[in-house]
Structure 1
């Protein structure tokens, strides 16, 4: 059930949220994309950008399903910028913490932890202080509207083969509801939020973790 744990770490992440409000760019802002975006698309993207940057804290139950057949549930906490905690329900022993600079992957059963720099992970899209779709390190690969639903797909511009994140929003009201991650190993993971609560008070200690033994961080 817990095979490919590290490859799923990307998917855990993705709640997308930044402290502070981004300046209100005009629709003519340059947005890097593999798509041909209309003026209406650009306006809608700026609305999504403002929404995501306005999200400060969040707490939610989640369901996670992967194309390898695995299924998990748990709780996710986000405090932007830079902090996130993902707790899986037993018997899954995994805990994921972003402490502001690192993303830490903990196996409580083995008492082992691995850390990578947060800026190197897709979680950076969500947890950076300001998310801007006109940033030169973000590439939009998909944008689709259907009744009640908006889908937005993003990759790192300098390494698009590392994985793709698709954020899925309800449009009335505008709210992040789920995301999918297609990772470099070809595994597709979907995380659905259940009863998310925004602008909640979260104890800062949720995002602290003391490594059990020395760990080298990836550059």
Structure 2
């Protein structure tokens, strides 16, 4: 699977995690994710081959996300209209496109996140500093899984790890998140991005 798609399937910033956290209940995590409308943050991505990429992420729930990769990469990943498009800055070819529902990130971009659904959560643990929840599509576990890492008081998403259908892992670590701002639809418009790149 393409490593860009794998990240959709957020070395840390060395965040100052609070000590002795308690395991967050799934209902609290679901409520937190459902409360997110828009998110803008810097991110660091650790790819399955050990390389590191950085950039900016924009999330507009439900169903929309944009990863802008910084130099020297400058690639772009957009999810919108139930589709994921991967723009390779080094290629003149049209973007690769996949149904969003085939990627694990769809689980947190859904209009109503409910981690209590049967067989969705396959791991729920606490390591002293954070709560980790590993989830998969209960109807299609072959699509891979996403492990979400949260800190508490207040609940905050810090990173995620995507394991794709081949077992490769991609980690995305989020910087400080700006929430609730306005985001234009153009950010998530795959067709408009394709047309703009033709000029």
TM-score of Structure 1 vs Structure 2, range by shorter chain: 0.7 to 0.9
Q: Greater strand percent: which structure?
A: 1
Select which of 164, 170, 176 maps to 2:151: 170
Q: CA RMSD in A?
A: 2.2
State the alpha-carbon separation in 2 of the partners of residues 13 and 205 from structure 1: 23
Instruction: Indicate the residue corresponding to 1:69 in structure 2.
Output: 50
Corresponding residue pairs, total: 182
How far off is 1:184 after superposition?
A: 2.0
Q: Which runs of 4+ in 1 moved over 4 A?
A: none
TM-score when normalising by structure 2: 0.82
Where do 1:117-136 residues align within 5 Å? 117-135=99-117
State the alpha-carbon separation in 1 of the partners of residues 69 and 95 from structure 2: 15
Instruction: Indicate the residue corresponding to 2:59 in structure 1.
Output: 78
State the alpha-carbon separation in 2 of the partners of residues 105 and 132 from structure 1: 28
Q: Is the 8 A contact 2:62 2:110 kept in 1?
A: yes
Instruction: Indicate the residue corresponding to 2:30 in structure 1.
Output: 49
C-alpha change, 1:13 and 1:201, in structure 2 (3 Å) is farther
- Per-residue CA deviations over 1:74-125 (Å, capped at 9, x if unaligned) read 0000011111111101221421111132111111321330111212221211
Q: Is the 8 A contact 1:148 1:172 kept in 2?
A: no
State the alpha-carbon separation in 2 of the partners of residues 96 and 68 from structure 1: 19
C-alpha change, 1:161 and 1:119, in structure 2 (3 Å) is closer
TM-score when normalising by structure 1: 0.75
Instruction: Indicate the residue corresponding to 1:114 in structure 2.
Output: 96
State the alpha-carbon separation in 1 of the partners of residues 8 and 100 from structure 2: 13
1:192 aligns with 2:188: no
State the alpha-carbon separation in 1 of the partners of residues 190 and 44 from structure 2: 24
Unaligned runs of 5+ in 2: 11-21
Unaligned runs of 5+ in 1: 15-39, 214-219
C-alpha change, 1:120 and 1:186, in structure 2 (3 Å) is closer
Select which of 3, 13, 19 maps to 1:7: 3
